[in-house]
Amino acid sequence: MTLVVADLHLGLGGTPDAPGGPPEGSAEGLEALLSQLARDQNATRVLVAGDVKHPIVGTPPPLRPVVFNFFAGLLAQGLSVDLVPGNHDVGLVRHLPREVRVYPPSGVVRDGVGIFHGHRWPSDRVLRAPKLVTGHLHPGFRFAPTSENPDGKRRGWVRVEFVPGALAFPGQGRGKRRVPSRTLELIVLPAFNPLAGTEALNRERPRRGRSFLFQRFLSRGVARGYLLDGTDVGRLVTAQSATDAARVSS
C-alpha cells in the first residue's frame, strides 16, 4: 500500500537555530507523524506529491541536513519513498538520500491512480488514469472565528466527481492531439504541514487556481469539501455548468 501526502514545506518558519521549523510544523514532528500514519495504514511506501521544502529557489545549507534526515528517517522505518517534485522543490534532488525515487514533475501512475503536484500539467498517461490525486491548492474552508482559531480557517480535502467521458485535454508533443480522459474522480490533498497557508475554497477563488487546477478540473465537475476529520462541508461553488451538475449525483 502507498500512502500519498503533499506540501510538507520543510523549513517553513525556520530560524538559524531551528532550520526545520517551529515545533508545531517541525521536520522531526512531521516525519514522526508520517511514520505513524504509515504504520496505522500498513503502508509500505510513502509518495510525496510535491513541495517537500519551503524555500522556492535552492535549498539553504542549514536546511539540507534537515531534508536528508527527514527522508532517512522514513527509510529507516523500512518504507520505500517516492517523490513527484513541486514548484518549491528546485534544487532539492541532490540533497536527498539516493534511495528516494524521484519522478518527473508531470506525475506518475501508481496502481491506477495518477499522482501529480498541480503546478505542472500532468503527462498524458497520468491524465488517462481513472482517479487523480494532487496537492498545491492547500485546500481549506472558512468558518466563524473562534478564540482558538481567530481567522476561522480549517484545513481539508476536496473530492471532485466527473461525468464519464466528459474530460478531454490538449495532449503533449507536436500533434497537440486531444487526450480523452477516463478520469472519474480527483482528490486534492490538504497541506501536510499545519503551518502552510490555507485557501478558503468555500469563500473565495483560490490564488493557487492560477495553476490550472481550478479552471481545468474543479470547475468541470462536482466538487465537495471535507474537513480532516471527514466532516462533509458541502458543495463548492464553481463555474460548472448546470447540465454537468444535473448529470452527476451529489
d(CA 67, CA 34): 14
Other Cβ atoms within 10 Å of 135 Cβ, number: 30
Helix (H) or strand (E) holding 28: helix 27-40
Residue 32: the pLDDT is: 96
Least confidently predicted of 37-41, 51-55, 162-166, 195-199: 162-166
**Residue 121, SS3 per DSSP:** coil
CATH number at residue 130: 3.60.21
Residue 174: the pLDDT is: 54
CA-wise closest residue to 123 among 114, 131, 111, 113: 114
Q: Which three cell numbers stand for residue 13?
A: 518558519
Write the pLDDT tens digit of every residue in 164-202.
876 777 655 555 556 667 889 999 999 999 999 888 887
Residue 236: the pLDDT is: 86
Q: What is the pTM of this model?
A: 0.88
Q: 241: pLDDT confidence band, cut at 50, 70 and 90?
A: very low
Structural domains in the chain (count): 1
Can you give the three-state secondary structure of 130-153, one letter per residue? CEEEECCCCEEEECCCCCCCCCCE
Q: Which domain holds residue 17?
A: 2-247
Write the pLDDT tens digit of every residue in 211-228.
788 888 888 889 999 999
d(CA 124, CA 139): 25
Write the pLDDT tens digit of every residue in 88-142.
999 999 999 999 999 999 999 999 999 999 999 999 899 989 999 999 999 999 8
